[in-house]
Amino acid sequence: MVKWLLVINMHTDEKFGKILVVDDDEDVLQAARLFLKQHVELVYTEKDPAKIPTLIKNLSYDVILLDMNFTRDVTSGQEGFLWLNKIFEIDPSAVVILITAFGDVDLAVRAIKEGAADFILKPWQNEKLLATLSAALKLRRSRLEVASLKSRQRQLIADMDQPFHDFIGVSPAMQTVFDTIQKVSGTDVNVLILGENGTGKELVARALHRNSNRSEEVFIGVDMGAISETLFESELFGHIKGAFTDAKNNRIGRFELASGGTLFLDEIANLPLSLQAKILRVLETRQVIPLGANTPRSIDIRLICATNMLIHDMVAKNEFRQDLLYRVNTVEIHLPPLRERQEDIPLLADFFLNIYCHKYKKTVKKVGAAAQKKLTAYHWPGNVRELQHAIERAVILSESQVLQPEDFFFSFSPPTKENNESSLEFDSYHLEAVEKTVICKVLDMYKGNISKAAQELGLTRTSLYRRMEKYGI
- CATH 3.40.50.300-classified regions of the chain: 184-335
**Residue 56 CB neighbours (<10 A):** 17
Q: 155-169: string of b/e by CB count within 10 Å (b at 16+)? A: eeeeeeeeebbebbb
- CATH 3.40.50.2300-classified regions of the chain: 18-150
- CATH 1.10.10.60-classified regions of the chain: 412-473
Fold of 18-150: Rossmann fold (3.40.50)
Query: In CATH, what class is 337-410?
Result: mainly alpha
Please give the Cα distance from 435 to 447 (Å, whole number). 18
Q: Name every residue whose Cβ is closer than 8 Å to that of residue 256 and which is 6 or more positions away in sequence.
A: 237, 238, 288, 290, 297, 299
- 133 CB-side CA count, 13 A: 29
Nearest CA among 406, 394, 388 for reference residue 348: 388
Whether residue 194 contacts residue 231, with contact meaning beta carbons closer than 8 Å, is answered with: no
Whether residue 95 contacts residue 143, with contact meaning beta carbons closer than 8 Å, is answered with: yes
Q: Report which DSSP code applies to 42.
A: E
Q: Which amino acid is at 25?
A: D
pLDDT in tens, 190-216: 999 999 999 999 999 999 999 999 998
The architecture (CATH level 2) of 184-335 comes to 3-Layer(aba) Sandwich (3.40)
Q: Which amino acid is at 152?
A: R
pLDDT in tens, 115-157: 888 888 778 888 888 888 888 888 888 887 877 776 666 555 5
Please give the Cα distance from 46 to 26 (Å, whole number). 9
Which CATH number is correct for 412-473, 3.90.930.12, 1.10.10.60, 3.30.1130.10, 3.40.50.720?
A: 1.10.10.60
- CATH 1.10.8.60-classified regions of the chain: 337-410
Whether residue 79 contacts residue 69, with contact meaning beta carbons closer than 8 Å, is answered with: yes
Helices (H) and strands (E) in the chain, counts: 18, 16
pLDDT tens per residue, the chain (473 residues)? Answer: 333 333 333 344 456 688 999 988 888 888 888 888 888 888 999 988 889 998 988 888 899 998 887 765 555 667 778 888 888 888 888 899 888 776 556 776 787 888 888 888 778 888 888 888 888 888 888 887 877 776 666 555 554 434 455 678 899 999 999 999 999 999 999 999 999 999 999 999 999 999 999 998 989 999 988 888 888 888 899 888 887 887 788 888 999 999 999 999 999 999 988 899 999 999 999 999 998 888 899 999 999 999 999 999 999 999 999 999 999 999 999 999 999 999 999 999 999 999 899 888 888 788 999 999 999 999 999 999 999 999 999 999 888 889 999 999 875 554 444 444 444 334 433 566 677 788 888 888 888 888 888 888 877 777 788 788 777 78
For the whole model, what pTM was predicted? 0.58
Strand 251-252 vs strand 238-239: parallel, antiparallel, or unpaired? antiparallel
